A = this chain, B = another copy of it.
Amino acid sequence: MPEPDPDATPAVTIYDVARAAGVAPSTVSRAFSRPGRVNAETGERIRQIAAQLGYRARPQARATSPTRSSMLAVVLADLANPVFYELVRGAGSACEAAGYTMMLAETAESAVRERATLERALESVDGLVLTASRISDSAIRQVAKVKPVVVVNRVVPGVPSVVIDVERGTFRSVQHLVELGHETVTYLSGPEASWADGMRWRGLRRAAEELGVRIRRTGPFAPTVNGGVQAAATWAQHRSSAVVAYNDLVAIGFIRGAGRLGVSVPGEVSVVGFDNSAMAELVSPELTTVAAPLHALGRTAAQNVLAMVGGARSQAPEPMQLPTRLVVRETTAPVAG
């Protein structure tokens, strides 16, 4: 069905330029790819003619091996999640420093779309950063065989990755709640396929063992504000004095949902988010949350991809760990007497 484009201008080639300039095609080619090799004057003339003919190099036609495209793809699950701001910004700064252009692709939490995206992007970028990937380890390894890949917040044996210390961060947030006197903590879980969700739960469990706090798991909920609103409804059936949310969005949604139910935060229930996204301090009450070094995360990932593009071996399959930090704001308070 790709009916031939009716208005397809045949596109001007070096041959056209060569004819117009009265030189050989090879000279035109050199005028562009090796300017020193041809007489400065001739080169200038050629480039002039090329320009006014509207000549556009078609680099992918370059004889041998695929050219560098100077583009790097960052694929993420959901743009509406402000977490990705900082992450993307980090990756962006690394790209900019390297003279690269960053392209973003959203997969909407769908494995099939992610596959299609990867398949397509693979051809035109030099490397990829995979965040919140929902496809299988082996599919990722497949991709990594073709182009440099770094996975974010997930470990795939054999593929370089950078992760944040989600477990310890979660542990810290529970510790904080314990210090405030809370004895039961409800976890509002996120997507089951998510690596981070597993780590969060691990942190909770460790806290349960070492700190003697009671933990409860609900969900899974969508990792969005709406998911959080729903979580509030579920929570209301088995209340607890403290809640740890999968991420900031869920936490914010939970607070809104609780508000509608007439439950005050932090008066009646303390809430801790995760990510310290930009929204965390814009909402009120301002959100207590675990700050993930999102910017560093994105930057590190992109830098590593770039290094691999530059020819570095994909070194240490050991995932790089980045530390977290608890940011106490207004949604946590001592347990009500």
Bound complex: CA A120 to CA B71 (Å):
7
Bound complex: CA A106 to CA B101 (Å):
9
Q: Which positions 92-136 of chain A face chain B at CB distance < 8 Å?
A: 92, 96, 101-106, 108, 113, 116-117, 120-121, 123-124
Instruction: Please choose the segment from A167-175, A206-214, A278-286 that sits at the chain B interface, where 4 or more of its residues have CB less than 8 A away.
Output: A278-286
Most chain B beta-carbon contacts within 10 A, residue among A5, A102, A104, A105:
A104
Q: Which positions 263-277 of chain A face chain B at CB distance < 8 Å?
A: none
Q: With A71-B121, A283-B282, A284-B284 known to touch, is A105 a contact of B101 (CB < 8 Å)?
A: yes
Partner of A104, one of B59, B104, B282: B104
Q: Which positions 72-96 of chain A face chain B at CB distance < 8 Å?
A: 73, 79-80, 85, 88-89, 92, 96
Assuming A88-B106, A279-B282, what are 6 further A-B pairs, CB within 8 angstroms?
A: A69-B124, A80-B85, A103-B105, A104-B104, A282-B282, A284-B284
| Docked-complex contact A6 and B311, CB < 8 angstroms | yes
Partner of A3, one of B88, B101, B284, B311: B311
Main secondary structure of the interface of A (DSSP, over half): mixed
Instruction: Please choose the segment from A60-68, A234-242, A315-323 that sits at the chain B interface, where 4 or more of its residues have CB less than 8 A away.
Output: A60-68
A-B CB contact pairs (8 Å), 13 listed: A7-B313, A11-B65, A54-B145, A56-B146, A58-B66, A60-B61, A79-B85, A79-B89, A96-B113, A101-B121, A104-B105, A123-B124, A282-B283
Q: Which positions 226-240 of chain A face chain B at CB distance < 8 Å?
A: none
Q: With A54-B145, A80-B85 known to touch, is A69 a contact of B123 (CB < 8 Å)?
A: yes
| Docked-complex contact A104 and B103, CB < 8 angstroms | yes
| Docked-complex contact A123 and B59, CB < 8 angstroms | yes
- Shortest CB-to-CB span from A258 to chain B, Å, is 15
Copies in the complex: 2
Q: With A70-B120, A284-B284 known to touch, is A88 a contact of B79 (CB < 8 Å)?
A: yes
Bound complex: CA A72 to CA B2 (Å):
16
Bound complex: CA A65 to CA B8 (Å):
10
Contacts of A106 in B (CB 8 A): 88, 92, 102, 104
Q: Which positions 1-41 of chain A face chain B at CB distance < 8 Å?
A: 2-3, 5-8, 11
- Please give the number of chain A residues whose Cβ is less than 8 angstroms from any Cβ of chain B in the complex: 51
| Nearest CB in chain B to that of A85: its residue | B80
Bound complex: CA A104 to CA B79 (Å):
10
| Nearest CB in chain B to that of A252: its residue | B282
| Nearest CB in chain B to that of A313: its residue | B7
- Shortest CB-to-CB span from A294 to chain B, Å, is 12
Bound complex: CA A113 to CA B102 (Å):
11
Bound complex: CA A96 to CA B116 (Å):
11
| Docked-complex contact B71 and A60, CB < 8 angstroms | no
Bound complex: CA A121 to CA B103 (Å):
9
Contacts of A252 in B (CB 8 A): 282
| Nearest CB in chain B to that of A86: its residue | B80
Contacts of A88 in B (CB 8 A): 79, 106
Bound complex: CA A313 to CA B105 (Å):
28
| Docked-complex contact A311 and B101, CB < 8 angstroms | no
Most chain B beta-carbon contacts within 10 A, residue among A80, A120, A279:
A120
